[in-house]
Every structure is written in structure tokens, then in C-alpha cells.
């Protein structure tokens, strides 16, 4: 693949070209950033000057549209295409941004340096007070229930603290139920829970009683949807029909307030934070978390010493495999950095042949296994489960366990009698070749061998 790169100084008319060079890209698996850097290096060589004198600022297509420098070359350009590379004296590279880029969250300032809000910034900003009729649900208007009732704003603050304490395990439960009640033939995702999923959660958590029936639970779901910021953003495009993780935490609050205020007992007069913690500890942790633990037990049993040794030997290729997905992210991707959201990863897994034998409804359990790699028993101490990225994503440290869990589901579906480590090695070999990780390793001087370092086909 060959491209013609026209170089011009940033701020000059597009017709004022300094020089034109040919850039040979092989199969075009590089990212656009590489074209800009390479073209500027060629210009420096031609002029006999230092490379630092020509710092790439943007790469534009033949129609003068700024390209996303993180996109793979062969996804947006073809052999023989022309591009324009703008340069300056620097010092920063690629200061010209492409249209439609994701907006980075604002930084807060610490002592002399910006501080990223972190993955829990949305949780800190969660506004429980937007829930409708919350004062009635917690009995604020019925002073006869208690003589020493806390102001609602204090109850909300303390309930917020309870949510932060259990946010990790609640996220695990949320993701686990994204496939509840869904057909195995239906493609699902891990970032939203629909009414069918929610009913499955209420049933699994034993929230339904004579005083709190399924219709009242459905009403809670609709109330939370109605006050969701996404409902305000819809602007006539139709209200949302599914809850995201932030909505799910608000569901927990309103469920606790509504359910326990209807049922007779000491919780009827209890403050909001006590109702929320009781629902989480008694209903969610006692009834739902053991089911999650049971679903993860099969993965843990299959993680034999031989399998762990194989995962260790394949670690470099697994990292290269995830990198191949990171580098191919388009500007529609919802994450930056080294995280890859599962919904986008599935598209690549299908190309690798991984998702042909199993339904996507197994993926939430596979992610849960990867996300709890540091917690042997999530039911024993749920507070040790930490909050992960949302939308649901994978990092380099979680990716090996996720792929192992997915292939273990394939192994179970295949009903083969061969040892799981041999099946895993064969599947890894196919994935590494299909993703290009094997070729990348060979190009860097590594041996073109599979993860088991055994004989190859042919």
C-alpha cells in the first residue's frame, strides 16, 4: 500500500505545499499518526535538517478533512490515495483535532496539578434527590412513625455513602442481570438493563411480597427511567426504555424506600440509608450474590495449574491481541486509553471465530470472572469487589481471564474429551493468527509459535 503525502506548514494555504513524498505502508495496519510522523521524517531528511524541526500537527484526506490519528490506515485510506500532512516547529504533535472526537471529562485541580476524576466520578456526582416522591416513600410526611426522624437531605447523603460502599458488588449484579430472561439466540450487551432483566433481578433478590407486588416494582422502574438524565437528553426521540448503571443504583434506593415503607415491621419507620443497606445486604447479597458465585465456580474449577501456566506463557500474545483491538478503535468508541469496552470487543471476537459456537448471553458471566480476579469468594466479602469502568470494559490484566472464560464456554459447548489446556492452546493459536498478534510478534523478532510452544500445523 502506497500513499502520496503532501507536506505544508500549519496555517499556510493548502496549495502552498512544501514537498511531496511517497509513504509505503505495507498492508496498512499502522495508525494514521504513523503517516504524519514518517512524512515529517522524510521531509527533514530531504532538507538535511533535524527531525525535531518538523512536528506533525494533522493528517488530512484528499478532501481536506482532518483524520483521527488513532484509526488504522487501511480502514480509511486505500492504495494510491493522497493525504496532506500539516507540520509546525512544535513542541506538541497533532494539536489539530478531528471533528466528532469524544469530549474528555474536565479535570479538577489539586495542589499544582490537574487530577482526573477517576472511574467513580459519576458515582460521586450521583443525585439521589432527583427521585420522585422520595419524601413520601421514606415517611418524612408521616411524623407519627418516629419522633426522631432525620432530615431528608441527611438521609440522602448517608444513603449515597451506602451506595459507594457497595458500588462494586452492585455493578457485578447489574452486569450479571443484563442477560436475565434473554433468549440465548439474541445479541445482548452489558451496559443496560431492560424491564425483563429487572423483573429477573426482583425475582432473584426475592423483593416481591404481598405488600410489594410486581406491578409496584415495574412502577419503580418507570419512575427511575422518567427522571434519568437520558430522558431529558432524548428531546423527542423517544424516552429511554433501559436503565444504565447509574439508574440501577437509583433503582436500589427507590426499591428500598418503596418496598419497606409498604411492609409492616421496624424498617417501615427506618431512615432511608438503613432501608437501602438492608435491601443490599439481605436481598442482594444473601440471595443474588451466591448465584453469581455459583456461576463463577465452573470457571474457577477449570482454571487448573496447567491452564494458569498456559495463560502465563501466552501473556505477551494476549496483550498484543488486545492492543490490536485498541489500535483499531474508531471515533465511535466510548473509551480511551488501554480499556476496550466489551460491546466493541465482541465485533473482533466474531472475526476471530470465538463467538460462533456460543451465544453472547454468556459474556456477562465471563466479564464477572475477569473483574473478580482478586476476590476468590464474592459472597464471603462483597465489599472487596471494586468498581470497574462503565461502560463495561476490559484492561490488559483482565483480558486473559475473560478470554479463558469465553473459551471455556466454547469447550463446554463442544463436549470434547480432550484436556481443556489443549483446547485452550488451539483456540489461542487461532485467535493470535486471526488478530495479527502472531505476525506482530514475528515482525518484532519473536518466534512464530503458538502459546503452547508445540509443533504447528503443516
Q: What is the pLDDT of residues 139-195, one digit of tens each?
A: 654 444 444 456 888 999 999 999 999 999 999 999 999 876 554 445 566 888 999
Q: Which among 369, 367, 417 is positioned nearest to 394, based on CA atoms?
A: 367
Please tell me the chain's helix, strand, coil percentages from 3-state DSSP, rounded to the nearest 5: 50, 10, 40
pLDDT over threshold 50, residue 49:
yes
**82 - beta bridge partners?**
4
For cell 415491621, the residue is 265
Helix/strand/coil for 14: coil
pLDDT, tens digit (0-9, with 9 covering 90-100), for 103-124: 544 445 555 544 555 778 899 9
DSSP structural state of residue 172: H
Q: Which among 398, 399, 389 is positioned nearest to 435, based on CA atoms?
A: 399
For cell 509546525, the residue is 88
pLDDT, tens digit (0-9, with 9 covering 90-100), for 419-453: 999 999 999 999 999 988 887 655 444 444 456 54
Bond prior to 391 in cis (omega within 30° of 0): yes
Residue 172's contacts (CB-CB under 8 Å, 6 or more residues apart) are 289, 292, 368, 371, 372, 378, 385
The alpha carbon of residue 214 and the mean position of all alpha carbons in its chain are separated, in whole angstroms, by: 31
Contact call for residues 437 and 400 (beta carbons, < 8 A): no
Instruction: For the chain, give every domain's residue range.
Output: 2-88, 121-284, 295-443
DSSP structural state of residue 133: T
Residue 318's pLDDT is what?
93
Rounded Cα–Cα distance for residues 129 and 152 (Å): 9
What does each C-alpha distance from 324 to 24, 257, 262, 328, 434 come to in angstroms?
20, 47, 53, 6, 11
- Which CATH code fits 2-88? 3.10.20.90
> Hey, which of 231-240, 341-350, 440-449 has the most confident mean pLDDT?
341-350
Degrees, nearest 5: CA angle 399-249-167: 50
What does each C-alpha distance from 391 to 162, 168, 176, 336, 364 come to in angstroms?
22, 14, 14, 12, 12
What does each C-alpha distance from 350 to 246, 314, 316 come to in angstroms?
29, 21, 22
Q: What is the pTM of this model?
A: 0.70
Amino acid at each position: 500500500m502506497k500513499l502520496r503525502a503532501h507536506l505544508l506548514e500549519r496555517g499556510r494555504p493548502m496549495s502552498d505545499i512544501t514537498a511531496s513524498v511517497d509513504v509505503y505502508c505495507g498492508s496498512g495496519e499502522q495508525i494514521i499518526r504513523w503517516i504524519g510522523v514518517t512524512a515529517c521524517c522524510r521531509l527533514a531528511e530531504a532538507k538535511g535538517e533535524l527531525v525535531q524541526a518538523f512536528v506533525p500537527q494533522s493528517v488530512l484526506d484528499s478532501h481536506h478533512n482532518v483524520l483521527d490519528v488513532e484509526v488504522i490506515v487501511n480502514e480509511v485510506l486505500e492504495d494510491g490515495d493522497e493525504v496532506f500532512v500539516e507540520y509546525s516547529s512544535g513542541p506538541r504533535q497533532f494539536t489539530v483535532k478531528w471533528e466528532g472526537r469524544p469530549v474528555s471529562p474536565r479535570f479538577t485541580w489539586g495542589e499544582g496539578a490537574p487530577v482526573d476524576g477517576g472511574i467513580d466520578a459519576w458515582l460521586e456526582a450521583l443525585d439521589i434527590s432527583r427521585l420522585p416522591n422520595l419524601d413520601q416513600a421514606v415517611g418524612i410526611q408521616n411524623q407519627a412513625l418516629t419522633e426522631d426522624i432525620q432530615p431528608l437531605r441527611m438521609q440522602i447523603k448517608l444513603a449515597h455513602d451506602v451506595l459507594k460502599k457497595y458500588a462494586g458488588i452492585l455493578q457485578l449484579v447489574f452486569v450479571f442481570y443484563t442477560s436475565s430472561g434473554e433468549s440465548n439466540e439474541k445479541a445482548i450487551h452489558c451496559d443496560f438493563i431492560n424491564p425483563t432483566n429487572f423483573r429477573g433481578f426482583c425475582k432473584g433478590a426475592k423483593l416481591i411480597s404481598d405488600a410489594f407486588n410486581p406491578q409496584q416494582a415495574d412502577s419503580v422502574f418507570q419512575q427511575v427511567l422518567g427522571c434519568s438524565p437520558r430522558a431529558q437528553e432524548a428531546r423527542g426521540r423517544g424516552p429511554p426504555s433501559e436503565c444504565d448503571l447509574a439508574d440501577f443504583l437509583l433503582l436500589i434506593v427507590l426499591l428500598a424506600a418503596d418496598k419497606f415503607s409498604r411492609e409492616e415491621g421496624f424498617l417501615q419507620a427506618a431512615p432511608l440509608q438503613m432501608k437501602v443497606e438492608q435491601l443490599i445486604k439481605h436481598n442482594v447479597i444473601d440471595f443474588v450474590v451466591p448465584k453469581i458465585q455459583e456461576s463463577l465456580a465452573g470457571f474457577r474449577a477449570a482454571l487448573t495449574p496447567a491452564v494458569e501456566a498456559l495463560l502465563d506463557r501466552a501473556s505477551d500474545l494476549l496483550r498484543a491481541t488486545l492492543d490490536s483491538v485498541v489500535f483499531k478503535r474508531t471515533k465511535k468508541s466510548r473509551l480511551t486509553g488501554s480499556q476496550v469496552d466489551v460491546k466493541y470487543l465482541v465485533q473482533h471476537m466474531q472475526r476471530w471465530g470465538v463467538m460462533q459456537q456460543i451465544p453472547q448471553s454468556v459474556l456477562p458471566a465471563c466479564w464477572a470472572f475477569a473483574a473478580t480476579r482478586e476476590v476468590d469468594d464474592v459472597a464471603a466479602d462483597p465489599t472487596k469487589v471494586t468498581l470497574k469502568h462503565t461502560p463495561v470494559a476490559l484492561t490488559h490484566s483482565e483480558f486473559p481471564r475473560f478470554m479463558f472464560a469465553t473459551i471455556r464456554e466454547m469447550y463446554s459447548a463442544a463436549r470434547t474429551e480432550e484436556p481443556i489446556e489443549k483446547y485452550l492452546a488451539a483456540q489461542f493459536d487461532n485467535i493470535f493468527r486471526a488478530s495479527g498478534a502472531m505476525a506482530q510478534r514475528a515482525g518484532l523478532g519473536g518466534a512464530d509459535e503458538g502459546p503452547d510452544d508445540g509443533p504447528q500445523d503443516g
